[in-house]
Structures are given as structure tokens and as C-alpha cells.
Amino acid sequence: MQAVSVVNICFSERIRCYYELVKFRLSFTVAFSCGFGYLLGARGSIEWMHFGWLVQGGFLISGSSIVINQIIEKDFDKIMKRTQNRPLPTGRLSVLEAKIFSLSIGSLGLLILIAQTNILTVTLSILSMVLYSFVYTPLKRVGPIAVFVGAIPGALPPLLGWVAATGSISHEALIIFGIQFIWQFPHFWAIAWLADEDYKKAGFKLLPGGGKQDLNTAINIMIYTLFLLPLGLLPTYFGLVGITSGVVATICGVLFLSQTFSLMKDYSRKSALRIMYGSFIYLPIVQIAFLIDKI
């Protein structure tokens, strides 16, 4: 593909480009999930300085991985409408600048975790970076197996937080990992449904089954959303949180599930959009409910 020429921009615009490159809201979500896992695992014995360093390290490592993803996909991003205005496709930042930025914030994030957490947390963080940047990213052009692989680093942040607080992986840690892991599937597939035309231009194959906007895909989305109902009750069952958050998780799960039935009926973009927004709402509400109930 034709190389992108780098344009000259002012300092403030360059800072804005780095902000866009790191996808602040996504990186913040990762940091929030790390903090959620830590607070849940700390069981009231919270070291706030330790917590703050963990959240910062998680944010930086997430941002570094996201930048690597955009470096690898810069030519594909140029093809798609939803990504063609990103800093690399437009030439507002060069690939070299992006590489230096990714290496800098990634190294800083790892150094923070090395100094402030434990070897298991650092190991899982590196695993998350490798899976997201170098396995999930190229697999997007292979098939929907990419969603399964991508769901692993996507679900690791709360596990990282738990491990940072406790130093070990317990069944409670696996439960909060499992909830976020299963949540990834309806979340990813709703986005893939909405971006199907763009994704096909870039050769991305993320929808399950035959990769079509059909009943098969809608059923898959419904099934994985259904799994969230029993998973959302496991923290209460095992005594990690109280009954109140179990009720909240169930209500949120039922509302989230109800949105999938419309997609099974009409296969419309509007229904897929509701599922995507539902996924954005479900996870933070459930996690906040767990935290409040724990406190």
C-alpha cells in the first residue's frame, strides 16, 4: 500500500494526536477494571498509594498495546471510514513517533508494576500485551477465533488487580475474570456487526459462524449474553459480595439479554447498536455494584 506522508503540526495538535493514539477512554476502562479487581481483592485492607500506582501502570500498558495495534493496522485503518482519521493513517504522526511513544509508556508502565506489585502481576501484564498486540491483532484477518483470543487480554485487568492485591490467583479472581471474558463476546460481535462493511474492506473476520449479519450470529450473541446471568451470581454464591449486588447483576443481565432478542428478530443496525450500548452500561454498573456491596 502507498506510504502515508507525515504532515507538519503544531505542538498542541501533536499532544492531541498522542491522546487519540492511546485511546484514552479505552485505556481508562482498563485501568478502572484493574482498580476494581484490586479493591475487591484487598478485602478492606487498601493501600491507596499501591492502588494508585497499579491503576497508572495498567493505563500505560493498555495504551502501549493499543498503539502497537494501530501501528500494525495503519494501512487497514486508512481503508475504513471509522478509522481513516486516526493519527497514523492521516500522517499527523509518523510510525517512528508512534513506536517511540508506545515503547516509552509501555516500559514506564512495566517499571511501575515491577516496583509496586509482584512478579505474577507483571507476568500477566506482559502476557496481556503480547496476546492483544501480536496475536489478537493479526488474527482479526484470519477468523472469529480472534474474538476468543482478544477476550483473554480484555478480561485480564480485573484479574491483574486482584493478583496485585493478594499475590495469587484464587477462584474468586477467576470468577471476575470469567464475567469480563464472557462479556467480551456480545460486546465485540455487536461492534463487528455495526462495522461489518468497513471490516470487510480491511479483511477483518470477526463475526461468528459464517461471518454474516444473520440469525446464526444473533443467536451466538444471545447465548453468550445469557451466560452472564449465572456468572453474575457467582460472586454472591461464593460470598465475595452480598445479595444486593447479585440482584443488580441479575437485573442488568436480564436487560442486556432482552436487547439480543430484537436482533434475532430484525437483524437491524439499530438493534446491534442497542446491544453495543448495553455492553458499555452492563459491565461498569455490575462492577460498581460489587464494590459498593463489598464496602
**Closest by Cα among 84, 33, 85, 93 to 62:** 33
Residue 43 has pLDDT above 90, yes or no: no
pLDDT attached to residue 4: 55
pLDDT attached to residue 79: 95
Residue 2 has pLDDT above 60, yes or no: no
Average pLDDT, the chain: 94
Helices 95-116, 48-72: crossing angle, 10 deg rounding = 150
As a residue count, the chain comes to 295
Across residues 6-13, what is the average pLDDT?
78
**Closest by Cα among 210, 212, 192 to 202:** 192
Q: Which CATH architecture has domain 10-168?
A: Orthogonal Bundle (1.10)
How many Å apart are CA 99 and CA 111, to the nearest integer?
18
How many Å apart are CA 192 and CA 137, to the nearest integer?
14
pLDDT above 90 as % of the chain: 93
Answer yes or no: are the C-beta atoms of 171 and 154 closer than 8 Å: no
* Per-residue pLDDT tens digits for 121-157: 999 999 999 999 999 999 999 999 999 999 999 999 9
Across residues 219-226, what is the average pLDDT?
98
pLDDT above 70 as % of the chain: 97
Question: Residue ranges per domain, the chain?
Answer: 10-168, 170-295
Grid cell at residue 197: 462493511
Give the confidence band of 11 by pLDDT, cuts at 50, 70, 90. Answer: confident
